[in-house]
């Protein structure tokens, strides 16, 4: 089969424009393929999404805990709250007394190591809280999944 004769509209300028459009489309396709094959970027994106989900779930769990605490406080009679406060004061006093005795009887090297461990933990409270919140989310999800079976 023979090709039809080029029409007057197929000028070199029009052919250049078509070639340029084709190059742009090809460039976009190559970029899309490169983006899909960038595993590190995908991992970072997934990590960011999971982090966001954990933060949202943490906020939800904290809000629900605060709401439950308020509800329990509102439903607890005043005399019971007073007795609980007194018991908490006694426990706090006893704990302070025991802590002072333990500190007085603990060798200095052990106290130093305990202080170092406490200092290392203080810097990672946010990470620890996030990890515990994530663990709580997983635990709740599994319980719900098991209860649906």
pLDDT of residue 37: 76
As a whole number, mean pLDDT of residues 69-76 equals 88
pLDDT digits (tens, 9 = 90+) for 17-36: 999 999 999 888 888 888 77
pLDDT of residue 1: 44
Q: With a cut of 70, say whether residue 3 has pLDDT above it.
A: no
pLDDT digits (tens, 9 = 90+) for 117-149: 777 777 677 777 777 788 788 878 887 777 776
pLDDT of residue 5: 52
pLDDT digits (tens, 9 = 90+) for 91-111: 999 999 988 888 888 888 888
% the chain with pLDDT above 90: 28
Contacts of 134 (CB under 8 A, 6+ apart): 54, 57, 58
Where do the domains of the chain lie? 13-75, 79-114
The CA distance from 100 to 20, in Å, is 81
pLDDT digits (tens, 9 = 90+) for 34-47: 877 777 777 888 88
| pTM value surpassing 0.85 | no
Q: Where are the alpha helices (DSSP H) in the chain?
A: 12-37, 39-75, 78-105, 108-122, 125-148
The CA distance from 27 to 8, in Å, is 30
């Amino acid at each position: 089969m023979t090709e039809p004769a080029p029409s007057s509209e197929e000028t070199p300028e029009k052919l250049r424009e078509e070639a340029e459009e084709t190059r742009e489309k090809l460039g976009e396709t190559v970029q899309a393929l490169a983006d899909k094959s960038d595993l590190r970027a995908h991992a970072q994106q997934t990590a960011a999404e999971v982090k966001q989900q954990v933060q949202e779930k943490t906020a939800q769990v904290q809000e629900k805990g605060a709401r439950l605490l308020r509800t329990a406080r509102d439903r607890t009679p005043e005399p019971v709250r007073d007795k609980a406060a007194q018991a908490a004061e006694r426990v706090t006093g006893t704990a302070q007394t025991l802590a002072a005795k333990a500190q007085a009887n603990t060798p200095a090297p052990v106290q130093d190591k305990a202080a170092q461990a406490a200092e290392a933990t203080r810097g990672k409270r946010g990470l620890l809280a996030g990890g515990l919140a994530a663990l709580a989310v997983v635990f709740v999800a599994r319980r719900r999944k098991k209860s649906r079976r």
